């Protein structure tokens, strides 16, 4: 049975960005639609930068319930993961997109002088508010 992460460990794991986060939304046919995305965490919320009008955006506008998954490791001794189930909102307003682009770049360590000054055309952000968090850490057994 794997160990579970504390809230602090959970946040540290997400912030360490061990890989892409997998966003799963629900398609119009009811099947899961999973895609890898870049992400960052700001407080309790998680943000994913995306192109607007893609399938994931259409799915979220129809049903805002999503799941996010990050996992790392390659053997039973070091596999750990974090899953977030939450409610998603799409942001496409230019001022909000620019603010989130700058926040994401800052989270990646981009220098202040190199931060974006205008939003990329066709860009949007998905904001996920966690409702449930699940974790596993086989190294903690």
Q: What is the pLDDT of residue 141?
A: 61
pLDDT tens digit string along 84-134?
A: 999 999 999 999 999 999 999 998 889 999 999 999 999 999 999 999 999
- Whether pLDDT at 18 is above 80: no
Structure tokens at 66: 């999503």
Q: What is the pLDDT of residue 78?
A: 87
Q: What is the pLDDT of residue 74?
A: 86
- Whether pLDDT at 83 is above 70: yes
Which comes out higher in pLDDT, residue 73 or 29? 29
Q: What three-state secondary structure class fits 7?
A: helix
**In the chain, pLDDT over 70 holds for what percent of residues?**
99
Whether the CB-CB separation of 83 and 133 falls below 8 Å is answered with yes
- Whether pLDDT at 76 is above 90: no
Contacts of 45 (CB under 8 A, 6+ apart): 127, 128, 129, 130
């Amino acid at each position: 049975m794997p160990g579970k992460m504390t809230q602090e460990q959970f946040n540290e794991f997400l912030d360490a960005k061990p890989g892409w986060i997998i966003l799963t939304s629900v398609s119009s046919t009811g099947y899961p639609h999973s895609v890898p995305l870049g992400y960052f965490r700001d407080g309790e919320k998680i943000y994913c930068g995306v192109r607007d009008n893609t399938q994931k955006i259409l799915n979220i506008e129809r049903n805002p319930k999503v799941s996010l998954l990050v996992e790392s490791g390659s053997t039973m001794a070091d596999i750990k993961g974090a899953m977030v189930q939450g409610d998603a909102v799409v942001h496409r307003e230019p001022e909000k997109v620019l603010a989130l682009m700058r926040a994401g770049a800052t989270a990646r360590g981009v220098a202040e002088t190199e931060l974006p000054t205008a939003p990329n055309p066709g860009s949007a952000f998905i904001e996920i508010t966690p409702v449930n968090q699940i974790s596993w850490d086989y190294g903690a057994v």
